[in-house]
Amino acid sequence: MDDQQKPKKHLLEELQQERSLVKCERERSMALKEVSNKVAAAHDTDEVLDLIVNEAARLLGAPAAWLRFLDENVMIPGATTKSGAAYIEEHSRIRPTLPRNDHCGTLSDSR
């Protein structure tokens, strides 16, 4: 069925979907630019990591976020949002490090 045969309602629905996609892409682009500017203005590693976890949680609408760092073959606690700090603190008391496994990746794994 070509565009001339489609009912107007269907064409309007398609137009609305396309507008939503464009709006989403525009918001994503603006968010990435904002995060890039904040990271560029950060002065030390801890500040950059703090920005990363907080912005990731905000952009994803997640209640908390944290990072673990690979140190040899174990994952150690790293940066966290305020809302994730209590969880990480409690979890780290129980199990301070996690062994690296198939569910943990590194940047070099994705290449």
| 11-41 tens-digit pLDDT | 889 999 999 999 989 988 888 888 888 888 8
- Note the Cα 29 to chain centre separation in Å: 14
pTM here is 0.56
| pLDDT given for residue 21 in this prediction | 92
pLDDT band at 103 (very low <50, low <70, confident <90, very high): low
| pLDDT given for residue 2 in this prediction | 58
| 52-83 tens-digit pLDDT | 888 888 888 899 998 888 888 777 888 888 88
Backbone φ, ψ for residue 68 (5° rounding): -120, 145
